[in-house]
Amino acid sequence: MESYTLPIQIRWSDIDANNHMRHSAFYDYGAWMRIMFLAAKGIDMKWMKAHQNGPILFREEAIFKREIRFEDKVTINVEITKSTADYSRWSLRHSFVKEDGTLAAIINVDGAWFSTAERKLIVPDETLVRAFEAFPKAAEFEWIERTKK
């Protein structure tokens, strides 16, 4: 897949006292984008509940470049930047781009798949692997080795 981008609607509740988008709203939109992508591939909340697993994050990082204000028109994308061969561990990146093409922010996340029944990390099944194979790959995408502790 070449790209996956969605427009976001800046809500009044996303704005802070400085009249720009509050930092935690970026994380909320990133989570929404990841779930929207997975749902489009058949991995929706109903599927996750039935299979008793879902994504879990180890790290979430925001890099703020330009302000986003209430009136701005913004799109967000998602791409995979690295993964283990079995897609059990992965990193994704979201870019927030204003209507004029200005990059406003980048969200980087590192995550894995988690069994809600067993309360432990898991290797994803074939359905999850197919969904992750469909993520647009970043230009610098790399395969990583899984480390054991």
Give me the number of domains the chain comprises.
1
Residue 40 domain flag: yes
Whether residue 149 is predicted with pLDDT greater than 80 in this model: the reply is: no
Q: How confident is the model at residue 146 (pLDDT cuts 50, 70, 90)?
A: confident
Nearest to 122 by CA among 95, 91, 87, 97: 87
We report the CATH number of the domain holding residue 50 as 3.10.129.10
How many residues comprise the chain? 149
Name the residue range of residue 83's domain: 5-143
Give the pTM: 0.94
Note the pLDDT tens digit of each residue in 7-41.
999 999 999 999 999 999 999 999 999 999 999 99
Residue 148 domain flag: no
Mean pLDDT across the chain, nearest whole number? 96
pLDDT value of residue 7? 98
Nearest to 98 by CA among 17, 20, 28, 3: 20
